[in-house]
Amino acid sequence: MHGHLLVSISSIFDETRAAVAEMVDALDGAGIPVSLLVAPHIDGNWRLARDERTRDWLLAQQKAGRAIILNGFDRAVQGRRAEFANLDAHEARLRLAGATRQMSRIGFDTDIFAPPRWRLSPGTLEVLPQFGFRLAASTRGLHHLPDGEFHQCRNLSVGEGFGAAKWWRRNVIRAAERGAASGNSIRLSVSGRNLLDAKVARDVRHAAIRAVAAGARPGDYRIFAPV
């Protein structure tokens, strides 16, 4: 039995776009699709709507069939705390309304949601179907919203509130390889900020390629959100 390999990249903005594009191209060349985690606001000052180059690159990726995942609304609003980690249903509804409205206005359409750092409150999970989302990704796994089915799926993250040091990356590579060899589905995620370091980018590629070599079938998050 073989599991899936799902690779995703977050923190995509003007300073990281080139490094993200390089990783996407490298993994595409290896037959490993990458899902892109996109938010309308990052770090308080950056706005996707105002960053024409990043917006146009992401829209081109979407048009080409790339999986786009909504990754929150204003990721800096709560400082070091993950934005959707503790929200009740009312607050989550307000933030999701703002995020989906702004993303739709500039041409993005997605039915997959992944909160910053994968930390998903019960209130957020409750209201996601109201905005047309079919899949939500959390620290625990993947929630298929139309029928409530849950897929336990380990997440291995580099950066974005998780480790990025050499020892951490070695552990990620080993865990991805072991999990794939055991027939488990593996989620491998990395922050675009960390891809600015060539050594981090190299190790993320190695983790993905070794997981596939160990038996994982490369895909994107839409595998778990069939229409």
CA distances in angstroms from 129 to 48, 67, 70, 140, 145, listed in the order given: 24, 19, 14, 19, 7
Average pLDDT of the residues of the chain = 94
Lowest average pLDDT, out of 101-105, 150-154, 194-198, 199-203, goes to 150-154
Query: Rounded to an integer, what distance in angstroms lies between the CA atom of residue 127 and that of residue 64?
Result: 30
Q: Read off the pLDDT of residues 179-225 as tens digits, 9 standing for 90 and up.
A: 999 999 999 999 999 999 999 999 999 999 999 999 999 999 999 98
Ordered by where they begin, the domains of the chain are: 4-224 (3.20.20.370)
Q: Read off the pLDDT of residues 27-79 as tens digits, 9 standing for 90 and up.
A: 999 999 999 999 999 877 899 999 999 999 999 999 999 999 999 998 654 44
pLDDT, residue 1, reads: 67
**DSSP-based helix, strand, coil % in the chain, nearest 5:** 45, 20, 35
pLDDT, residue 161, reads: 80
Claim: this prediction has a pTM higher than 0.85: yes
